[in-house]
A and B are shown apart, each in its own frame.
Chain A
Amino acid sequence: MSLCRPTFSLLRKCIGQNLYNLRLSDSRSIKRWVSPTLRELKRRRDRIGPEPERPRSSFLEWNYEAEVYAFGKRLGEEFDKNLLKRALIQREYANKQEFAAREKGLPTPEMLHNYELIQEGSKIISKVIIDEYEKLYPQDIVKAVHEYLTTEDMLSHVGKHIGLKDLVLTNEFPVVNETLSNTFKAVVAALKQSQNLERAELFVKDFLLSQMNGKDVYEIWDPKNPYEYLMKLLNDKGISEVEPRLCNQSAVNTILANYQIGLYSNKKLLGIGWGENVEVAKETAAIDAIQRLFRNYVPKQ
């Protein structure tokens, strides 16, 4: 017993020293309370709901003059500052400001709004679209494309990607599609008045007509009865007889039936189409035939 005690103490010292040598450095780990705290914070954040959207102009870092200047420079156009500012002010906003000033008894600020500019811009845009497309396609397609490109959705999409969403002065927030499309038209008119019609038309071409990139015109224009439309076109040309022929078919008795129909006139192929039944295939072949005809379309001068 008496011998054991010093050996025990020796042993303890040795073990202690070894353990000390083995411990390389203090490790700073992620504490136990971190994860539950973060979880609880997230829970509370989610319970309240997302942060309400605020207009960019309500931020501390906002300089309207600088933004307007940068807007013009970014697009590579020289705008007249006052015209551009006018184009960004909506009629309702201007009226409201006037009304508020009158209520308080202050002198009414001269706020010119963009109402006339919108009308002007709308005309310029329509003219550009119709002029460009009349060179290549007949009237039906030109109308369809014009309608597609002048929808609110399309114009507001273009306006957003130019940067109008933060610059526009409106009563409502978040900014509505209608306002954005109107502002785009007003900006086009402002450009025309600052510089000339040519620059404004180039602007419309670069931003609005480029949205047709990659899109097939025939996705936008959809003739209601393609076969009848085709017959009308061919009658104008002088071809009265069209022979629809079944070129290929597969799995006819199943749901996945597929028919290939070719339209022939005087043994010449006009168009090929597929479909899940013969009628659909015929209509598709008619659309293909119409496309082939319009490929060589020359506008009447």
Chain B
Amino acid sequence: MSNKLFLLPALVSAPSQNGVGRYVGQLQRVVLKFCKNNGSSRGMRDFIESGLVNFAKENPGVVVYLKPRRHRSPIIKAEYLNGDTQWMSVRNFPQEEILKWLTLLNTQAQCHNGQRLRRLWFTEHPSIQGPWTPYTFRDPSLNLVSFPIEELAQPKDLPKSSEEELLELFKKQKLQEVESKRAE
């Protein structure tokens, strides 16, 4: 019914703690296969003529291979440092789009095809104060009693009953008597 039932759940991660020390671009090499004649490779051929050299100069850590193959669709195959390969068909793509996709492959850390990210954050230490235990907010005086206890035998925070109101009135009355006696 929906794609996410078939995607493998994955957590956000940087391969081999990339970025903690220094950032290393994870794209190792890129293979551009194209046809020298067919129209579907036109965008690819235009890109190779115009934008590819710039791309290679700006990313000296990426090895670019060109493979002209007759009668085949143009393809970008990217290989990453952690061993992933990503195969992308760029049939009938204009050259700007090919550059866009190459930039994506370059900035990716791994191939996310077939994955759905469960959370966009990850931490090894989700709790600073320490995880909850049943003893975190437990009154330690309960350790010294044997159950059942009288203190916990009545409900708490009930509305005032008529009995309690009576007692209060009585106490007030008594206090007034005492005060009037004092005044005398």
Contact = CB atoms under 8 A, between A and B. Distances in A.
Contact of B60 (A61, A69, A163): A69
A61 B31 contact: yes
Contact of B67 (A60, A67, A209, A260): A60
A258 to B, nearest CB: 8
Given A211-B16, A250-B134, A205 B21 contact: yes
Contacts of B24: 74-76, 162
A90 B134 CA distance: 58
Interface string B152-175: 000000000000000000000000
A63 interface: yes
Contact of A274 (B18, B61, B82, B133): B133
Contacts of A76: 22, 24
Contacts of B20: 210, 213
Given A76-B22, A207-B21, A210-B20, A161 B81 contact: yes
Contacts of B61: 70-71, 73-75
Contacts of A75: 22, 24, 61
B81 A73 contact: no
A247 interface: yes
Nearest to B122: A214
A70 B21 contact: no
A161 B18 CA distance: 9
A70 B60 contact: yes
A287 B138 CA distance: 24
A210 B17 contact: yes
Nearest to A260: B135
Interface residues of A, number: 35
A158 interface: yes
B148 interface: no
A186 B138 CA distance: 57
B16 A214 contact: no
A93 B77 CA distance: 31
A206 interface: yes
A57 B22 CA distance: 28
B82 A248 contact: no
A161 B60 contact: no
Given A74-B60, A260-B133, 7 more contacts: A66-B63, A74-B25, A163-B28, A207-B16, A213-B17, A247-B143, A248-B140
28 contacts: A61-B31, A61-B65, A63-B63, A66-B63, A69-B60, A70-B61, A70-B62, A71-B61, A74-B61, A74-B62, A75-B22, A75-B61, A76-B24, A160-B82, A161-B82, A162-B81, A163-B28, A207-B16, A210-B17, A210-B20, A210-B21, A211-B17, A213-B17, A213-B20, A247-B135, A247-B140, A248-B140, A260-B135
Interface of A: 60-63, 66-67, 69-71, 73-76, 157-158, 160-163, 165-166, 205-207, 209-211, 213-215, 247-248, 250, 260, 274
